[in-house]
Amino acid sequence: MSKLVEVAIVGASGYSGEELIRLVLRHPNARLTVITSRQYEGRKLLDVFPQFSAFPVASELVFVKPDVHLIARHAKFAFMALPHGVSASMVPDLLLHGVRIADLSADFRLRDADVYKEFYGADHPCPQLLSKAVYGLPEIYREEIKTAELIACPGCYPTSILLPLIPLLKEKKINPTKIIVNSMSGVTGAGRKVELQYLFSECNESLRAYGFPKHRHLSEIEQELSKAAEQRVIIEFIPHLVPVNRGILTTICTDITDTFENKQNCNPGEVAVKSWQAFYANEPFIRVYQGNYLPDTKNVVGTNVIEFGCRFDPRTNKLIIVSAIDNIVKGAAGQAIQCFNIVNNFDERCGLV
Amino acid sequence: MSKLVEVAIVGASGYSGEELIRLVLRHPNARLTVITSRQYEGRKLLDVFPQFSAFPVASELVFVKPDVHLIARHAKFAFMALPHGVSASMVPDLLLHGVRIADLSADFRLRDADVYKEFYGADHPCPQLLSKAVYGLPEIYREEIKTAELIACPGCYPTSILLPLIPLLKEKKINPTKIIVNSMSGVTGAGRKVELQYLFSECNESLRAYGFPKHRHLSEIEQELSKAAEQRVIIEFIPHLVPVNRGILTTICTDITDTFENKQNCNPGEVAVKSWQAFYANEPFIRVYQGNYLPDTKNVVGTNVIEFGCRFDPRTNKLIIVSAIDNIVKGAAGQAIQCFNIVNNFDERCGLV
Amino acid sequence: MSKLVEVAIVGASGYSGEELIRLVLRHPNARLTVITSRQYEGRKLLDVFPQFSAFPVASELVFVKPDVHLIARHAKFAFMALPHGVSASMVPDLLLHGVRIADLSADFRLRDADVYKEFYGADHPCPQLLSKAVYGLPEIYREEIKTAELIACPGCYPTSILLPLIPLLKEKKINPTKIIVNSMSGVTGAGRKVELQYLFSECNESLRAYGFPKHRHLSEIEQELSKAAEQRVIIEFIPHLVPVNRGILTTICTDITDTFENKQNCNPGEVAVKSWQAFYANEPFIRVYQGNYLPDTKNVVGTNVIEFGCRFDPRTNKLIIVSAIDNIVKGAAGQAIQCFNIVNNFDERCGLV
Amino acid sequence: MSKLVEVAIVGASGYSGEELIRLVLRHPNARLTVITSRQYEGRKLLDVFPQFSAFPVASELVFVKPDVHLIARHAKFAFMALPHGVSASMVPDLLLHGVRIADLSADFRLRDADVYKEFYGADHPCPQLLSKAVYGLPEIYREEIKTAELIACPGCYPTSILLPLIPLLKEKKINPTKIIVNSMSGVTGAGRKVELQYLFSECNESLRAYGFPKHRHLSEIEQELSKAAEQRVIIEFIPHLVPVNRGILTTICTDITDTFENKQNCNPGEVAVKSWQAFYANEPFIRVYQGNYLPDTKNVVGTNVIEFGCRFDPRTNKLIIVSAIDNIVKGAAGQAIQCFNIVNNFDERCGLV
């Protein structure tokens, strides 16, 4: 019999929090004991999110105020789905109380407090924890996650960008100084923010770029790409908002290096696919497309899978990579569950298929 | 040469106000001289609504505070696109200054101040004007509109319901006590309200009923149906919110009377079509479907047309009527322009095709 | 240890077939052994539906031609997701071979071959099986389903209509001769049909009624309502197509009987809620709303839940009921799995939460 | 009094043909005399497109088979909205009969028959006409259009790419060898094609890249960019399909040249804006954004405007340009009308605002 891990979800009223609730309720080895929300404090889970009524334990859950002692008393593991900055105010205390944490905010993703300050505009509230945190990208940091006390789950855009690029950078197959990324995100990516620009009639039948040239996610993207490339990487990143609920489609334009060109009669697209297949052999949540197939967010929405593929353009000598994820699952709550499974030595698919 | 009528749009920042701006800018016989908005006071029209930049005069327009004297000095005709209750605070003064008015709010649609109080929850601020106002449904009140100083433009749901029903009630073809209406509205129908329930991710892929059993629009619907039927009419009306930007589809379930049944070998659906065709002969904005055709909002979005058709169910002896309008055009701004054309003796299509 | 039931999905290329694949792959007590599709014969499951790649067994599955012997050899239970009429050509042979069946087509839903002919326009191909089939609405026919060899799963519209109405009809709380139903369906309801009217640009931003006054689903709806009411019931049913992928919202207008009126000081809406709560006590997939809450398809999409609620209109003495389901889950594949669980004596939630 | 030009629309059943009908019916100086469609031959316009019923002349129009003599007898100007390849089979004869032509197909956009063969896979059917045709981008070729007999209207993607890039390339402000374009298109861009991939349920909630690395539109894009840059230009172009009806958003990543860098204290973004404002001074359909504003397709849908803006990324030294158009208006039918206005010496806004 598997052990049943007691779990808290802190900040459970946004889209990622809601998805965490769903995933923890479905998880065969987890028991949801605490859900916090300042906004919904005192209200029953099923009053706020009736969609969970078919889960046996859901009817007993009530939103409470976030409180370290209460969380520590009832949970061994906490998912933090709080806004950036707020998470860091609770994490140190929770760690002291022995609660292991998967933090979905950006607070502990960066290794360098100066970069944090540059991108988030404030001094980091607890820089001493930055070196302790593990970046929660399981396909890259699985070993470190196993023993981590504090897992900093990657952002949604970073997940869609890092997973296809890291193997190619590690193998020096693409030029790290020439990477251009265009991403499209569904509107849940903005969170449950009540702002004019996110009204249905303002988003539906609308396509727009936003947040560039210095989107906050660049900081963690470049940190991880630099590590893979073993040199400082700066990229161009242009996010767009498009009228779907969920999904990120990322299109990456790269210059191949002469590791490709040396080999005669080889198609760089096929070489990239072989690299990915080798690097990600047996990864349950990575789907690499061959041939003419290309990613489509509708294949990943509702799943923890990232899918990617590529095409080579012989006219420009560029390799174009396309990836797709569900921004709320592999880009947030699902990836956090995957980390939770690793920490607890469960099958990584547990609760995710 | 046609005269150029100077026009003010009061409350020009919502969806109806925005459409009014478009329609007045396009109108060959109107000149837009004043646009008011408390929210955007002092800002250029093109900063707020860049989409109008191709219109020659648009670059000169600046939002001003609503002010009766300023409006009266610069405009002979004012479109009021203010919230319910606010409109009534300016209308009396504007009328005193000789400005003719098409009011898109609900303030002057009802003939009876008690009904206003019942449905809007407050005493009417200027009941003495209620008898002066003309209900701005051109196909029914064209003669009265010609000389009206104050036109109370119908709501969007009422327009979609009244136009198909009035001829059949006048001709006693349907039972006035058995009318059941289901309507679906696009999200612009809620106005540019920044509320959680109208966020893209809350409306997209969502279908819901709301606001029944006593939606405010019932007051004007029943007033006009009662007049047509020459008896008190009470109906069931159930509005729904669906994820489109624009459009109302209304489905009306009616019981036919024995005026139908007396005639042998006749299909009540064909009889209804003949009634409509006779009643609305030469109406430019009414499209009656025959045979198997049924309305679809995509045929009316962006136009001032209402289309309707019907099917008879011999199993239940009911006549099912379906109508479609653009809630912001025939349901608001376009119908107001149609009234403006009548008042000014222009071709009714002027600026609307 | 639970037994692992071997399962075939026959006709696995449409939307319901695709959802059945997902649900069977996820089911802890089922093993998917056969998937058939004439269109995709010989192709790997993951080539056609890459979205299932994270399921361990998915990579081994290949679409085969529908063949009774092959199915019978490899499966104890078959889900039939074939078009109407096609299903009936395989069912008798499968039953002879001892395969238990959940048929998602309309072929065995009616008890009366004449009604079948009236609504489906052809003689029933195997009328002798009609009395053997059990209508697969678990909340009504659970006992019969337990021992059924042939389960005729209800249509999507019928599910959304029958579950709220049956208790009220059984208890004579509403007048069975005055029921008017308006439903809105997402576009997957039309199946994966490649027709002009279902193109994105024809459906998006479009609202339309269709298929009335004699939609085929009326036959099973009226059959079951008549049984509950113990009298012949004929209803008005008007379906609409709206631009969402999934979901049905059904709004039912009913006349209350004097069983309500006899009781003083009672609100008929509260009485209906109490009836439902009693009738459906402990049903895991029924969610009854009280108070001001009303159904929204976004609460049920992706789940096997039906939710419903009501409001009473004292002006018309009508009780308005609203229900919401996912047309592909509770309206098709999920309900079939629920029946499968009952037949196999599994927890009914198994694989569905 | 303006002359009324008689106009034919050849191939009037697709989305561009439908929009041409709307625009010609609205045009004060045009009279629609012929509409052709093999598919709808013999049917009344209003049976196929009821949405035009408010236009006085629409009721008289009937679709006819495309016939050169009939067109030449009734029209001075023909809009060709036929598929690629089909248009070229009629154009030479129509020109011989003195009909001036705006061709919306790709048949006459290229100056070089070899490039045509490379990209369209067949010999050009009438290469002798290629030098005669004028590329119908009014802001670039206005003088040539004035006297053109054959106008080859640009594709939708090319329009969105060329207009912002041409001034910067002419002024050597950006490096012509480093241009990377990502575009997103609404589904009408695929035409009214009845294919599985364009069904509502396949496109809604779906994001995908397609058609790269060698989309057919590249041929005309590179032809025109090369001309502006006075050197051979090869670009990367990656189109995407997104769930909106209309609109293209194009994001262009460019490297600035040292014409920028020489000037101290200047922001390259501001320099680009000044270039555009000078180059496109007084252009009615070009809207250049300054400051923080960025394009959004919802500002251009339904209009003939292209809007664009840019941001400079000092971290990468790249200038990111974003443009938005309505693919069916400025990207097709509207731009053709603009050319028609130029040919006939009408105000260019005529019928377009």
* C312 interaction partners in chain B (CB closer than 8 Å): 213
Instruction: Please indicate, yes or no, if residue C338 is contained in any of the structural domains.
Output: yes
Q: Where are the alpha helices (DSSP H) in chain B?
A: 15-26, 45-48, 68-74, 91-96, 113-120, 138-146, 156-170, 200-203, 217-229, 258-262, 268-279, 334-343
Instruction: Please indicate, yes or no, if residue D351 is contained in any of the structural domains.
Output: no
* Whether C104 contacts C79, CB under 8 Å: yes
Instruction: Please indicate, yes or no, if residue A352 is contained in any of the structural domains.
Output: no
* A214 interaction partners in chain D (CB closer than 8 Å): 313, 315
Q: Is D324 on the interface with B (CB under 8 A)?
A: no
- pLDDT score of A3: 74
B2-33, pLDDT tens digit by residue? 579 999 999 999 999 999 999 999 999 999 99
* D313 interaction partners in chain A (CB closer than 8 Å): 212-214, 236
Q: Is C164 on the interface with B (CB under 8 A)?
A: no
Region C3-18 average pLDDT: 95
Are D193 and D305 found together in one domain? yes
Report residue D220: phi and psi, to 5°.
-75, -30
ipTM of the complex in this document: 0.96
Are A291 and A335 found together in one domain? no
pLDDT at D26 over 70: yes
* B and C: number of Cβ contacts within 8 A: 145
Are B137 and B210 found together in one domain? no
- pLDDT score of B292: 81
DSSP states along B206-228? --EE-S-SS-THHHHHHHHHHHH
B210-230, pLDDT tens digit by residue? 999 999 999 999 999 999 999
* Whether A217 contacts A157, CB under 8 Å: yes
Model confidence at D1, pLDDT cuts 50, 70, 90, reads very low
Distance from CA of C65 to the nearest CA of B (A): 35
Region A72-95 average pLDDT: 96
Domains of chain C: total: 2
- CA B134-B135-B139 angle, to 5 degrees, is 110
Which of D156, D310, D339, D350 is an active site residue? D156
Q: Is B72 on the interface with C (CB under 8 A)?
A: no
Which residues of chain B from 225 to 244 reach within 8 Å of chain A, CB to CB?
A: 243-244
Distance from CA of A268 to the nearest CA of D (A): 13
The answer to whether B51 contacts D352, with C-beta atoms less than 8 Å apart, is no
Report residue A319: phi and psi, to 5°.
-105, 120
Distance from CA of B221 to the nearest CA of C (A): 14
Look at the block and give the residue holding tokens 């002006």. Answer: C315
Instruction: Please indicate, yes or no, if residue D147 is contained in any of the structural domains.
Output: yes
The answer to whether B199 contacts A202, with C-beta atoms less than 8 Å apart, is no
Nearest to C297 among B207, B249, B312 (CB): B207
- pLDDT score of B236: 98
Are D79 and D92 found together in one domain? yes
The 3-state secondary structure of A67-135, one letter per residue: CHHHHHHHCCEEEECCCCCCHHHCHHHHHHCCCEEEECCCCCCCCCHHHHHHHHCCCCCCHHHCCCCEE
Instruction: Residue count of chain B, please give it.
Output: 353
Task: Identify the closest residue of chain B to C325 by CA–CA distance.
Answer: B207
The answer to whether A202 contacts B200, with C-beta atoms less than 8 Å apart, is yes
- pLDDT score of A179: 98
B102-116, pLDDT tens digit by residue? 999 999 999 999 999
A288-339, pLDDT tens digit by residue? 999 889 999 999 999 999 999 999 999 999 999 999 999 999 999 999 999 9
Identify residue C340 by its one-letter amino acid code: F
From CA C98, how far away is CA A63, in angstroms rounded? 50
- pLDDT score of B261: 59
Nearest to C240 among B236, B238, B249 (CB): B249
Region D155-178 average pLDDT: 97
Domain that holds residue D42: 5-154+331-343
Look at the block and give the residue holding tokens 């709806």. Answer: C221
- pLDDT score of D143: 98
Task: Identify the closest residue of chain A to D296 by CA–CA distance.
Answer: A208
Chain D partners (3+ C-beta pairs within 8 A)? A, B, C
Task: Identify the closest residue of chain B to D325 by CA–CA distance.
Answer: B51
The answer to whether B51 contacts D305, with C-beta atoms less than 8 Å apart, is yes
**H or E stretch covering A17:** helix A15-26
Nearest to D55 among B26, B289, B353 (CB): B353
Instruction: Please indicate, yes or no, if residue B300 is contained in any of the structural domains.
Output: yes
**Per residue in C83-115, is it b (16+ CB within 10 Å) or e — as a string?**
eeebbbebbeebbeeebbbbbbbbbbbbbeeeb
From CA B55, how far away is CA C127, in angstroms rounded? 69
Distance from CA of B51 to the nearest CA of D (A): 5
Q: Is B206 on the interface with C (CB under 8 A)?
A: yes
* B178 interaction partners in chain C (CB closer than 8 Å): none
Model confidence at D2, pLDDT cuts 50, 70, 90, reads low
Region B81-86 average pLDDT: 93
* Secondary structure of residue B292 in the 3-state scheme: coil
Q: For the domain that residue B35 is a member of, what is the CATH number?
A: 3.40.50.720
Are C78 and C137 found together in one domain? yes
Share of chain D above pLDDT 90, in %: 94
The answer to whether B253 contacts C244, with C-beta atoms less than 8 Å apart, is no
The total of other beta-carbon atoms located within 10 Å of residue A47's CB is 12
Region C140-154 average pLDDT: 98
From CA C291, how far away is CA C304, in angstroms rounded? 23
Instruction: Residue count of chain A, please give it.
Output: 353
* Secondary structure of residue A209 in the 3-state scheme: strand
Which of A153, A156, A310, A350 is an active site residue? A156
The answer to whether D300 contacts B353, with C-beta atoms less than 8 Å apart, is no
Model confidence at A1, pLDDT cuts 50, 70, 90, reads very low
Q: Which residues 6+ apart lie within 8 Å of A102 measured at CB?
A: A77, A78, A79, A80, A136, A151, A153, A336, A339, A340
The answer to whether C50 contacts A293, with C-beta atoms less than 8 Å apart, is yes
Residue among B282, B270, B199, B211 at smallest CA distance from B240: B211
From CA B51, how far away is CA D176, in angstroms rounded? 31
From CA D34, how far away is CA D32, in angstroms rounded? 6
DSSP states along A258-301? HHHHTSTT--HHHHHHHHHHHHTTT-TTEEE--TT---BGGGTT
- pLDDT score of D55: 95
Region B192-215 average pLDDT: 97
From CA B324, how far away is CA C205, in angstroms rounded? 12
Region C301-326 average pLDDT: 97
Are B96 and B203 found together in one domain? no
CA distances from B266 to B173, B271, D178 (A): 13, 7, 73
Q: Is A297 on the interface with D (CB under 8 A)?
A: yes
Q: Is D156 a catalytic residue?
A: yes
Q: A185, A199, A246: which to substitute to probe chain B, counting the most B Cβ within 10 Å?
A: A199
Are B184 and B46 found together in one domain? no
Are B121 and B258 found together in one domain? no
Q: What is the DSSP letter of B285?
A: T
C57-68, pLDDT tens digit by residue? 999 999 999 999
The answer to whether B201 contacts A195, with C-beta atoms less than 8 Å apart, is no
Are C184 and C220 found together in one domain? yes
* B353 interaction partners in chain D (CB closer than 8 Å): 25-26, 54-55
Instruction: Please indicate, yes or no, if residue D353 is contained in any of the structural domains.
Output: no
* B298 interaction partners in chain D (CB closer than 8 Å): 51
Chain A partners (3+ C-beta pairs within 8 A)? B, C, D
Nearest to B316 among C236, C296, C315 (CB): C236
From CA A23, how far away is CA A37, in angstroms rounded? 18
The answer to whether C187 contacts D196, with C-beta atoms less than 8 Å apart, is no
- pLDDT score of D259: 77
* Whether B252 contacts B175, CB under 8 Å: no
Region B124-131 average pLDDT: 95
* Whether B303 contacts D52, CB under 8 Å: no
- pLDDT score of D262: 52
Residue among C271, C301, C156 at smallest CA distance from C279: C271
pLDDT at B1 over 50: no
* Whether D307 contacts D247, CB under 8 Å: no
C88-137, pLDDT tens digit by residue? 999 999 999 999 999 999 999 999 999 999 999 999 999 999 999 999 99
Instruction: Please indicate, yes or no, if residue A199 is contained in any of the structural domains.
Output: yes
Distance from CA of B218 to the nearest CA of C (A): 11
Are A215 and A146 found together in one domain? no
pLDDT at D277 over 90: yes
Instruction: Residue count of chain D, please give it.
Output: 353
Task: Identify the closest residue of chain A to D205 by CA–CA distance.
Answer: A244
Q: Is A255 on the interface with D (CB under 8 A)?
A: no
Instruction: Residue count of chain C, please give it.
Output: 353
Nearest to D205 among A212, A248, A298 (CB): A298
Nearest to B284 among D54, D300, D305 (CB): D54
Mean model confidence pLDDT for chain D:
96
Q: For the domain that residue D245 is a member of, what is the CATH number?
A: 3.30.360.10
The total of other beta-carbon atoms located within 10 Å of residue D299's CB is 23
* Whether A130 contacts A220, CB under 8 Å: no
- pLDDT score of C1: 45
**H or E stretch covering B6:** strand B5-10
Region D317-323 average pLDDT: 97
Half-sphere exposure for D33 (CA within 13 Å, toward CB): 17
Are A13 and A142 found together in one domain? yes
B288-334, pLDDT tens digit by residue? 999 889 999 999 999 999 999 999 999 999 999 999 999 999 999 99
A222-265, pLDDT tens digit by residue? 999 999 999 999 999 999 999 999 999 999 999 999 876 555 56
Region A214-220 average pLDDT: 96
Instruction: Please indicate, yes or no, if residue A348 is contained in any of the structural domains.
Output: no
The answer to whether A195 contacts B194, with C-beta atoms less than 8 Å apart, is yes
Are B163 and B120 found together in one domain? no
Q: C48, C192, C200: which to substitute to probe chain D, counting the most D Cβ within 10 Å?
A: C200
pLDDT at D264 over 80: no
Model confidence at C264, pLDDT cuts 50, 70, 90, reads low
Task: Identify the closest residue of chain A to C324 by CA–CA distance.
Answer: A51
**Residue B182: is it exposed, middle or buried by C-beta count within 10 angstroms (0-12/13-18/19+)?**
buried
Region A137-161 average pLDDT: 98
Distance from CA of C55 to the nearest CA of B (A): 27
